[in-house]
Amino acid sequence: MRASVTGRSLKRARRTARAPLLVRALLAALCVALSQPAAFALSASVTVDASKVENEISPLLYGQFMEFMFEGVKGGVHAELLRDRSFEGQPNVVGLPRGWERYPDDRGDDYGLAFAWDERVSYPPARTLKVETGEKAAAEHSLRVESSDGVVERHGVYQPRVPVVGGAEYRARVWLRGEAYAGVVALALESDVNVGEVYASADVSNVSGEWRAYEVTLKPSKSDPLARFCVLFRGRGRAWVDKASLMPSDAAPGGVRRDVFERVKLLRPAFIRWPGGNVAQDYRWMWAVGPRDERFTWVNLSWKNEPEPGDFGTDEFVAFARAVRAEPSITVNVEGRGATAEEAAAWVEYCNGAATTKYGAMRAANGHPEPYGVRLWEVGNEIWGDWVRGHSDAGTYARNFNAYARAMRAADPSIKLIAVGDNDMRWNRAVLRESGAGIDYLAVHHYYGRNEAAGDAGNILARPLFYEKFYGELAGAIRELAPGRDIRLAINEWGLDLPAARQYSMESALYGARLMNVFERAGSVVAMSAVSDLVNGWPGGIIQAGRHGTFVSPVYLVNQIYAETRGVERLAATVRSPTFDTTKEGRGVPSLDAVATRAPAAGQIFVRLVNTAAEPLDVNIKILNAPQIFIDSDNLSVYESMPPGSNSFVNPDAVVMSRGQMRAGGDNSTVTVPKRSVSVVVFRYRIPSDSLGEGRPSD
């Protein structure tokens, strides 16, 4: 990939009367590129006035959003390696729930082993906590095993496709109950291809009487991406098994997969939003607190009635968010599935109340005596949509918001509340009129895709500019209907509805980067944003986490770039650029989208360049009225290898990031940005200590 920069020499900079303090500059360009630039380039320019600050950039601007959506949490974020560990999935004809199989296999009859999906016996044996949903109570189950002598001596149940690493440690646990059972139960990791090849095994004994947890450490002798986890019965009698678990010992805080955790850390999220999304209107927080094996498995009504284990609840979410230095943002259920304002207030108290309060004491009993101090709380999700539980009109929602706000702030007056907004201004005006006095942020979600683009990809590349105008309209409505209130916007879901190959290509990255530039230009009103989703869920998930590894989308790389180059104030900038026309989003759309921001404490100016053109651009960057000495910096580039393609598990590095250096001349530089690319040019500077331009470099 070629990137060229030209500029004035150090000698000329010293002689120049207009900017005598400018010495040399080294540009750091971060570039997400569709392909390598051609030998020719169009021209464009960006003129930055460093003496004029247009708006501040919110420290919360770039966050992330995660949701219980298929394997968005289970299997994706959470490190648990077993599916349906509580045996709640519908059984097959031999009595085994989804995900579990008969050991060693189904080739022949094993008259010494029989299974039953038992709703009369399960762990925990009795529930002290009841969560009323208005739905018929679902029975809980365990797996009953009848074991006796037969021709198959080594038998039981197993889960296939469990990835293990040789030499790593795994914590295996099952709850067992016995009735006249004599013998041992073995927990093992084995080969699924070479049946009977054992990587690690441990026996547990005294399986009799009431429920008891048995935990062992398994250290496989070799790596296998498709291993088996086995529960084997070498004895006679009846036993029940429930709440099986296999956790890698390197799990990150919150029980999060280590590989996913490291990917999220690189994004430096200002906040993480959870548990949804649509599912927030299904979720009841008490399902997932307390001892892990005593939590509920609940049905996800939003996403195909998927069973969701209670493994990743409030305590795990807060631990995860804080470990990646993100502020937790919790979405409470408003009137969905039996939810109430009192329950939302109890959730606030659980997170923020002293250990002497009712729900603060519950948190302390669960091992967390100090309050979490969660300050961001969203009151419902997309209540205007008839696909969510608790759906209502704007007036009803506004009254509900007021009731929830009173109850939640009674538990903690310091919290900040995010209200449900919409792309429909009639909804927004009604909510602002009725509830503006209690709103801190208004959430608006943007999705755009194949149907809206109507076959013209240019519409996708231009669409973010429509939102820029929309934010101005919303800002006016806030001033009119909530005078004196500094209500900011939270664009905490945005994404594209495109086929997977396009989601993981530069097309999505260009849309995302232009939209993120709009967020910065609208920084006086837009304070929070998050792409949909963080992990899995749908093709929009920017981290795709399978059982055996991960890959990231180009939108992830744009998020990483922008997080690494986060300014605190936007500088005035004038952009000259080629243009293109669209069928729905207007004519004369600039091919180059540019924003300039500054981080004074770090001594950096960032110039973001989104080149939507099919040709490279020679971009002249002038920085006016800058009383600084420019010094060296690094260059980071993200580009697509040739031939062009999209990221996938097969080809996870179709778009990659590299780091290097480019030299440029201070306040007047030209950089060639590749066609269809996202770049950030980073100028590092120091403030001179005297008129000779001698100063201490910024850290």
- Catalytically annotated residues: 382, 493
Distance CA 686, CA 95 (A): 71
Distance CA 603, CA 684 (A): 6
Q: Which residues pair with 330 in a beta bridge?
A: 274, 377
Tokens found for residue 99: 């995900």
Pick from 317, 257, 171: which is nearest to 549 by CA? 257
Structural element, H or E, at residue 419 = strand 416-420
Question: What is the distance of C-alpha 453 from the center of its chain?
Answer: 26
Tokens found for residue 219: 């250290």
Distance CA 64, CA 656 (A): 21
Pick from 44, 63, 57: which is nearest to 521 by CA? 57
Q: How far is CA 128 from CA 137, 176, 287, 296, 363, in A?
A: 15, 21, 12, 12, 16
Q: Which residues contact 401 (CB under 8 A, 6 or more apart)?
A: 334, 379, 380, 417, 419, 420, 431, 435, 438, 439
Return the half-sphere exposure (C-beta side, CA atoms, 13 A cut-off) of residue 596.
21
Tokens found for residue 579: 């243009």
Question: What is the distance of C-alpha 530 from the center of its chain?
Answer: 8
Task: Give exposure, 48-83, as e/b (b: 16+ Cβ within 10 Å).
Answer: bbbeeebbebbebbbbbbbbbbbbbbbbbbbbbbbb
- Do 400 and 392 touch, CB atoms closer than 8 A? yes
Tokens found for residue 26: 């080294």
The letter for the amino acid at 475 is A
Return the half-sphere exposure (C-beta side, CA atoms, 13 A cut-off) of residue 500.
12
- Do 501 and 539 touch, CB atoms closer than 8 A? no
Distance CA 358, CA 33 (A): 54
